[in-house]
Amino acid sequence: MRSGFSTAELLYPLTKARATSASKLPNAKANKKVVSAHQQAVQDAIANSVPNYPDVVTEAVDSGDTGDIVDNLDPKPGLLLPALIGLYTMARSLGAMDGAKLTGGDPIQGDNGNALLDNAPTMADNITNTTASTVGAIITSGVTDGQSASDINSTVGDVLNNDQRANMITLTEANRAYNTGVLDQLIASGETTFEWITYDGACADCLALEGTHPVGDDTPPLHPNCQCAIGLSGSTD
């Protein structure tokens, strides 16, 4: 299993999500359901993850001191954790059900899915700390440039309510949990390999991984907004 993303991948930089259709993938319906059910909770958690930022902005503008901005923001990763656990649980179950259809077994809750849930607090910390760092950088830049507190607060608000980022996080994590559910089913049925399934418009790195892999190799998502799926070896749809 892939141990983790690079720092840039894991922390979800504020970049525009790639708009690529993957509607024919086996995970498409499940991911759509999970995003529909949980994106708003993710968005709300991010929007409220640094609730004291107006006070921090006012203090920084008045004093001109930006030395401890991120520490002063006091980010709240606990707000995001329930949303992550909810979407992981739902997506993992959907993956297990689809995996059971492939293998002819009954859906299970396997070790990889359990490990994913155990790692949810770390993921919540990472995402929330990135939000705080981004907000801190905006405040620092605004104070340095002589912006008003009102202008800085407006920019911060736009960042905290970035629905593209919330969608990217929800989709990526839903896909991670879905594929984990499928993988656990394959392992439970005695499969020793899986198929990495790409889609029209997938990136070059993902296309290079298309095909059969031994269990234990990296599984999707390879990067934020990756929608690749896994299946039985030799499957193409």
Domain count, the chain: 1
Is 59 contained in some domain? Answer: yes
Is 206 contained in some domain? Answer: no
3-state per-residue secondary structure call for 167-192: HHHHHHHHHHHHHHHHHHHHHHCCCC
The pLDDT of residue 85 is 98
Q: Check residues 8 and 232 and name the one with the higher pLDDT.
A: 232
Whether the pLDDT of residue 237 is over 60: the answer is no
Any idea which residue has 């993988």 for tokens?
Answer: 183
pTM of the model: 0.87
Is 136 contained in some domain? Answer: yes
Assign 235 a pLDDT band (cuts: 50, 70, 90). low
Tell me how far apart the alpha carbons of residues 8 and 5 are, in angstroms, rounded to a whole number.
8
Is 216 contained in some domain? Answer: no
Is 221 contained in some domain? Answer: no
Encode pLDDT of 58-71 as tens digits. Answer: 999 999 999 889 88
Q: Judge residue 213's burial from the number of C-beta atoms within 10 Å of its C-beta, 0-12 exposed, 13-18 middle, 19 or more buried.
A: middle
Tell me how far apart the alpha carbons of residues 227 and 30 are, in angstroms, rounded to a whole number.
11
Assign 4 a pLDDT band (cuts: 50, 70, 90). very low
Domain membership of residue 132 as a residue range: 24-188
Is 101 contained in some domain? Answer: yes
Is 194 contained in some domain? Answer: no
Whether the pLDDT of residue 173 is over 70: the answer is yes
Q: How many helices (H) and strands (E) does the chain have?
A: 10, 3
- What is the distance, to the nearest Å, from the Cα of residue 128 to the centroid of all Cα atoms in its chain? 12
Is 39 contained in some domain? Answer: yes
Contacts with 209 (C-beta within 8 Å, 6 or more apart), sequence order: 196, 198, 218, 222, 228
